[in-house]
Amino acid sequence: MNKKKMGWITFFFIVLSCCFVSIWLTDLNAEQLLFNLHVSMKGANGSAVWRCLLFACSCSAGIVVAAVIALRWLQKKQPAHRLIRWVDHALRHRRTTVAVSLLLCLICVNYNLEFVDFVRHQMIVTTIYQEHYVEPRRVTYQFPEKKRNLVYIFLESMEVTYTNANEGGAQPADLIPELRGLAQDNINFSSNEGFGGSHTLPGTTWTMAAMVGQTSGLPLKLPFDGEKYYGNYSQILPGAWTLGDILEDAGYQQEIMMGSDSSFAGRGDYFRQHGSYEVNDYNTALEDGRLPENYHEFWGYEDRKLFEYAKEELLRLAAEDKPFNLTLLTVDTHFEDGYVCPLCPDYNRDQYANVIRCSSHQVSEFVKWIQEQDFYENTTIVISGDHLSMDSNFFDKVEDDYDRQVYNCIINPAVEDAQAYEKNRIFTTLDLFPTTLAALGVTFDSDRLALGTNLFSSTPTLAEELGLDALNEQLSRNSNYYNYHFLYSH
């Protein structure tokens, strides 16, 4: 085979691979990809990256090899066949062929990753921050005389979708009976009269952005010239004032625990810079001997270890003479297909379903343990999914018009008549920022902080006031106010 033919084969292999990568990443978007280009990818799950590349290369190689074999066979049997003449014509007009191939590739990539919409939105400026943003620094906070402890659990990719249709989900069988039970027995803000959840907005749909959104009431956004604002990413949203900042001012000890490398996407830096959190991650567990040397499972270590380590940390924090905030981030339910640990049941042919079922049980057991401790009486537990799952095929059988929502549950809030405004709310994960403070018994002279609304109040959320679609549209757009006040380091 001559060099020219090999060149064409390589070209089509690369073009097809790009298309298949975009298909694998169909639940990601251009905004997230742009963000990850500007921040540290250290600590990412390498196996997921390799599976993506293996999927793309295997599919592309299969198609290219099959096409070459078929064309060679056809050329021998019917050298004047119309298809052979068409291929020869295409190869002779190489510029046109290359242009058409690249155009089709771009259409495929855009269909899956929505680059055109992202670019279009970057060319339109929103004024939503000038009109609706409430500066948390200018709000007066009154903590109860005995400050309450906070345990905040970010559950990776946890959705209401995982329960059955009778309970508001979209599965044949309930995969999260324990989590659903916790929500129904405690506070679960919902868009209906039953079990429901929150919506996500642009800039809150992946883990780092979700954690920022729920603790600051702001989406995590990047303009095209993000390097100007993020640079080497030494400061993350320096203009934001967050839950961690407020609790630090109130004298809280703060710690975040995760079974992955906290440097990935700048997560550790964000919490250190906004609240002086002690960051306890996969690397910490290696350094202090909790994990054996060279131990690595999935993204670092699995959730069953996270909950055991968290129990130790809670007992240590509770023994101190300060209120505490322990924040956890789970990982086992991360796409693609999750991580199967020894605790996972094997009752479903789908691995992801078994992992989700396992996560529900583990969280419930962890909450039960907390409720048995002496410090529980003065402790509020907030459990929230970080964002909707990005698993590429688990939701294939879910109806297109089903409204997927993120799980939430608040246990033991210090709020009188906490159920008064619990149901029939249209809200987003940004609203958990002021709602968490209210759950700790903190009173403040505004029902809104940043773009979030205290859900324990009767004040309409921005999603209720503007409409969810309109809010999505506004937060998809570029904002000079956001870039200057929150991203830019003054």
Q: How far apart are CA 262 and CA 39, in angstroms?
A: 12
Asked whether the predicted pLDDT for residue 154 surpasses 50, the reply is yes
**pLDDT for res 69:** 72
Reported as a pLDDT band with limits 50, 70 and 90, residue 229 is very low
Pick the more confident residue, 286 or 69.
286
Asked whether the predicted pLDDT for residue 78 surpasses 90, the reply is no
Asked whether the predicted pLDDT for residue 108 surpasses 90, the reply is no
pLDDT digits (tens, 9 = 90+) for 141-153: 999 999 999 999 9
Pick the more confident residue, 359 or 12.
359
**pLDDT for res 232:** 46
Pick the more confident residue, 474 or 71.
474
**pLDDT for res 153:** 98
Reported as a pLDDT band with limits 50, 70 and 90, residue 125 is confident
Asked whether the predicted pLDDT for residue 307 surpasses 50, the reply is yes
pLDDT digits (tens, 9 = 90+) for 404-441: 999 999 999 999 999 999 999 999 999 999 999 999 99
**pLDDT for res 347:** 81
Asked whether the predicted pLDDT for residue 102 surpasses 70, the reply is no
**pLDDT for res 400:** 87
Reported as a pLDDT band with limits 50, 70 and 90, residue 16 is low
Residue 211 gets the label, from left (phi > 0), alpha (psi -120 to 50) or beta, of: alpha
Q: Domains plus CATH for the chain?
A: 3-122 (no CATH), 136-487 (3.40.720.10)
